[in-house]
Chain A
């Protein structure tokens, strides 16, 4: 294999790895948008909470209290982070989204979630301080080699876990009755209600699923981030771009766009420098909005464009 091909393959692998992480975060945003046309600005902070939860479970609780090995502790921490995200989602739905839903206003929930975001960031700042934590994944030390292509155990783990999560979500939405009901709610809440579907329950469920994924993403992304209370903010802006590029509320589009953005990011780092990542992604976003505002995979939704 020549150098260029090796480089292309290597960077594509890095890109898919990053992309999987982005998809985990962006899917939550797109799910919430799909069922209730709301943006959750605190979603980024759910990722951070997930990362901190995983960090403390993996390095303190599971290893010291339960006496697990490093690898098992990290795997346990992923699930605890998932639970932490779900609890946050439950709370935010009960306290913010549910009370504001009936008023049919798109701005106020947005501002309320900005308030929640400020609260979570500064709450974590008060608890953990501004100094970044070093979150080492036990899988990051193992290197796997195919010829001249390298990747770490961590990237394999991230890709496998997020593919499983994304696949489970996709199957849930497509093939189960609840998933079908959820899609019905996102198409027309009132009509779905008339068909005997409880929209409030399903919207709550969606927020919980979305937040659980954010928490889980936090556990997976934690070892990559500079782990501070504001870490999630670096991911969320890109997640917004991915949601738009994929088409708001469109699950397949979001998955495709997330992987695409991951690959673009990997190649931007290779050829242009890491400082330009956000610039490239957002120029792509604006171009996309001009050329194809419905997103990569167009849906039959016309009111937004």
Chain B
């Protein structure tokens, strides 16, 4: 029997430093970027981090091409808003229900993933997103169709005994809420991918037949990955309408799925921190290019293509190359 004593400790201290830094960054970011505009971008950024993390679980760790992640984001957003507005639910309860609904939809897509591979699954998931979008447009009795739903309230304030009321009407508290959730999800997934479950998913990614010969039930674990990933995307969706105030189907166009895909690839697929970097960069890049006016999205498109062409491992690869070079230089200095 193999014992764990010969391995590194379960959680090395360097990871705790990383967690603490990330936590400090989430606390400090909206205080440094003090204007409401930039705080709003931060909220969007936190949602994008959640979406990129969710897609990465399916794409990066389980190796399933999913071009329809926007569908689950949409389901989370619409279900939470409809439950609160039309059925008078409490927001937090509706949030749980909406995430679960997105998760169930994810299981439905997983049923296709059991039979299809590669681009076939990609187009099936794209079709799934198109159908979701069309249902939002056409089911006017429930979703209001292209007219959209207006005047959506942010999450209700939280009253804790002995503390001032926390209101989510301003983007500062909302960012801390969504950023905190993104932090928690990251923590959970980080532990998950290091666990035997993570190794199971990676085994599926590398070779499904070999994995099956080791007794891994591919259908069950794909369902797990899709279910969990779409629950997270649905959770991100719950905060979107309250932040923007309106809800229209166009916010969940299939192009949104491609943006999420780009975040995962540009950051570095199949690592935990890569998609986070990708989400942050691709959220802020278009904003920083705002002075370029009409050329802004052209530059964005060129940048996306160039990153893929010259940095196949994403931005994370660049970081690793720089770090390797620095350490080599440090090593050379020490030996002298």
Chain A residues in the interface with B (C-beta under 8 A): 33, 37, 39, 41, 95-96, 99-100, 103, 105-112, 114-123, 125-126, 233, 237, 240-241, 243-244, 248, 275-276, 278-279, 282-283, 285-286, 289-290, 293, 303-305
Give complex CA distance A118, B303 in Å. Answer: 10
Between A and B, 15 residue pairs with Cβ closer than 8 Å are A100-B308, A110-B122, A111-B308, A112-B304, A112-B309, A122-B297, A122-B300, A244-B124, A275-B137, A278-B134, A282-B131, A283-B131, A286-B124, A286-B128, A304-B117
Q: What distance in Å separates the Cβ of B114 from its nearest Cβ neighbour in chain A?
A: 11
Give complex CA distance A244, B112 in Å. Answer: 14
Chain A residues within 8 Å of B116, by CB:
289, 293, 304-305
Considering only residues 277-336 of chain B, those with a C-beta below 8 Å from chain A are 294-298, 300-306, 308-309, 312
Considering only residues 140-181 of chain B, those with a C-beta below 8 Å from chain A are none
Give complex CA distance A111, B312 in Å. Answer: 11
Give complex CA distance A108, B264 in Å. Answer: 11
The 6 closest A-B pairs by CB, nearest first: A118-B301, A119-B301, A115-B304, A115-B305, A122-B297, A279-B134
Chain B residues within 8 Å of A305, by CB:
115-117, 120
Say which one of B2-10, B37-45, B223-231, B254-262 lies at the interface with A. Answer: B254-262
Majority secondary structure, A binding face: helix
Q: What distance in Å separates the Cβ of A53 from its nearest Cβ neighbour in chain B?
A: 19
Which residue of B59, B118, B303, B306 is within 8 Å of A304 (Cβ)?
A: B118
Chain A residues within 8 Å of B127, by CB:
240-241, 244, 282, 285-286
B269 at the A/B interface (Cβ < 8 Å)? yes
A248 touches B119 (CB 8 A): yes
Which residue of A126, A244, A276 is within 8 Å of B120 (Cβ)?
A: A244
B115 touches A289 (CB 8 A): yes
B126 touches A108 (CB 8 A): no
Give complex CA distance A37, B301 in Å. Answer: 23
Q: What distance in Å separates the Cβ of B67 from its nearest Cβ neighbour in chain A?
A: 9
A107 touches B294 (CB 8 A): no
Which residue of A99, A114, A118 is within 8 Å of B261 (Cβ)?
A: A114
Chain B residues within 8 Å of A122, by CB:
294-298, 300-301
B192 at the A/B interface (Cβ < 8 Å)? no
Chain B residues within 8 Å of A285, by CB:
123-124, 127
B120 touches A304 (CB 8 A): yes
B258 touches A108 (CB 8 A): no
B130 at the A/B interface (Cβ < 8 Å)? yes
A237 touches B305 (CB 8 A): no
A108 touches B265 (CB 8 A): yes
Residues 222-262 of chain B, each 1 if its beta carbon lies under 8 Å from chain A, else 0: 00000000000000000000000000000000110010011
Most buried by B among A112, A118, A279, A304: A118
Which residue of B118, B126, B308 is within 8 Å of A112 (Cβ)?
A: B308
Chain A residues within 8 Å of B59, by CB:
107
Chain A residues within 8 Å of B297, by CB:
118, 121-122, 125
Chain B residues within 8 Å of A114, by CB:
258, 261-262, 304
B265 touches A111 (CB 8 A): yes
Give complex CA distance A275, B138 in Å. Answer: 7
B135 at the A/B interface (Cβ < 8 Å)? yes
Measured CB to CB, the nearest residue on chain B to A279 is: B134
Given contact pairs A96-B309, A119-B302, enumerate 14 new A-B contacts (beta carbons under 8 Å).
Answer: A110-B261, A115-B308, A118-B297, A121-B301, A123-B298, A126-B295, A237-B130, A278-B130, A289-B116, A289-B124, A290-B115, A304-B118, A304-B119, A305-B120
Q: What distance in Å separates the Cβ of A200 from its nearest Cβ neighbour in chain B?
A: 17
A303 touches B265 (CB 8 A): no
Q: What distance in Å separates the Cβ of A303 from its nearest Cβ neighbour in chain B?
A: 7
A111 touches B304 (CB 8 A): yes
Which residue of A96, A105, A240, A304 is within 8 Å of B126 (Cβ)?
A: A240
Measured CB to CB, the nearest residue on chain B to A103 is: B312
Residues 87-130 of chain B, each 1 if its beta carbon lies under 8 Å from chain A, else 0: 00000000000000000000000001001111110111011101
B300 touches A118 (CB 8 A): yes
Chain B residues within 8 Å of A233, by CB:
255
Chain A residues within 8 Å of B305, by CB:
95-96, 112, 115-116, 119
Q: What distance in Å separates the Cβ of B61 from its nearest Cβ neighbour in chain A?
A: 14
Give complex CA distance A116, B116 in Å. Answer: 27
Which residue of B115, B128, B294, B308 is within 8 Å of A293 (Cβ)?
A: B115
Q: What distance in Å separates the Cβ of B124 from its nearest Cβ neighbour in chain A?
A: 5
Measured CB to CB, the nearest residue on chain B to A119 is: B301
